[in-house]
A and B are shown apart, each in its own frame.
Chain A
């Protein structure tokens, strides 16, 4: 007798992904969809799409989806969540969207303690637009706009989002993970599930920063990309939990 042991999550549509070969967006999409399935919340979940490589993920998730203008996903999510607090609202954003043009929306949604979930995919580069330097690009990293490597004297330093947001009292969860190994993929899924569960439990703003690869714009094959992530990104962006407590808990303890 045939038995189904592996299938596509219901929260993903049957539309084929447009992502480049070796890109880790596909893994992360699947993890988000698996979590939605396991929590049984697809019918009352609203996702907010970014601008960037994941711009068309409104076609990939089976829940209601809103495409926000550049960087404004946390602001749109704030409105959707406040209008319908019973809904589960998540944003899915890259580093160009979240850490550059959307920095203000991100920081203020976090400090307001908006009860939303942010999936932040950090691949240290502007992927969709052709590989320009992002705020998250590493010192010395070669990109289209830093052909000799990012010179921090001219281009400044990378921004560490989880460390920065962990200082804010509105944040319930700030955790950085990676999808370079099976172990880390599993850890990422646990973090995403926690970020969704936090919202259901009303604990505050939850962000999971996921270190991701961009083989096309890094000029590497998928295997080399994963090695590069491990050797260069993780030392600068250490994995771990930067904050995990109900929003405002620090004030209550003072």
Chain B
């Protein structure tokens, strides 16, 4: 789909892996979603909801952005969100299209040349040119489509970076840290690709340390390091295999990192 520039929405409610793994919540598909969705040079949009309302809202956004940029999009949720119930406000139904799709294969009605959707380009030059054009589109996406949420970041010394279910745990841990007088805050990426590097622009100067909290062995932590440009220490806290970190575990990491700063 990415190679044919076909928009689509893929939903991955992550469980523990690899292989059959387990059936408890996980965030260990981060690399697959953001870096290695398939073979070849390509990216897809990746949205990470942290509430059920966001699970609803991001569906419409993902479809619209997928159409706008002719790119597949993914909602990368986790088994905890997948099993939760929360009240939601459903958007009003609409039939409006974000964009026209003159490229679509839905019959030429004898009014135009036939459309071809194809990912086979046997000429290396043609394939390289196409990929370079696609990456120019990715640059526009990186510039315009980064999304994130901030919590108590204005004066934060310790910034916890977390998405999805682990962001909800981290939110509680940040509150507990604040009660102990530690200036902690939460930066919650909503787009995982493009990764919200803009959110780090001032934080990497003002904060003292960053913690990536994930339900994996630490897959987003490298993106946090790149966003911080190694100007501040970045450490990891998390659980994997279907285990969810407790607010206490995250708080302990905040205290540990805070003690060093």
- B-binding residues in A (CB < 8 A): 13, 42-46, 49, 55-56, 58-59, 61-67, 69, 80, 83-84, 87
Contact = CB atoms under 8 A, between A and B. Distances in A.
A69 B6 CA distance: 13
Interface string B75-112: 00000000000000000000000000000011111110
Given A59-B116, A61-B114, A66 B107 contact: no
Interface in B103-130: 105-111, 114-120
B130 to A, nearest CB: 14
A83 B7 CA distance: 14
Size bin of chain B's contact surface = 10 to 19
Contacts of A56: 120
A87 B106 contact: yes
B119 A67 contact: yes
Given A55-B120, A67-B117, A83 B106 contact: yes
B38 to A, nearest CB: 10
Interface string B22-34: 0000000000000
B106 A62 contact: no
Secondary structure of the A side of the interface?
Answer: mixed
Contacts of B105: 46, 64-66, 80
Given A63-B114, A64-B114, A64-B115, A84 B120 contact: no
Nearest to A40: B110
Given A43-B107, A44-B107, A84-B107, A62 B118 contact: no
A63 B108 contact: yes
A44 B109 contact: yes
- Which among A49, A58, A64 has the highest number of chain B CB atoms within 10 Å? A64
Contacts of B109: 43-44
A58 B107 contact: no
Given A61-B114, A64-B114, A64-B115, 16 more contacts: A43-B107, A43-B109, A44-B107, A44-B109, A45-B107, A46-B105, A49-B118, A63-B107, A63-B108, A64-B106, A64-B108, A66-B4, A66-B118, A67-B4, A67-B119, A80-B106
Contacts of A13: 114
B111 to A, nearest CB: 8
10 residue pairs, one from A and one from B, having the closest CB atoms: A44-B107, A64-B105, A43-B110, A67-B118, A66-B117, A43-B109, A64-B115, A58-B116, A65-B116, A84-B106
Contact of B110 (A42, A66, A67): A42
Contacts of B120: 55-56, 67
A43 B106 CA distance: 9
A92 to B, nearest CB: 14
Contacts of B108: 42-43, 63-64
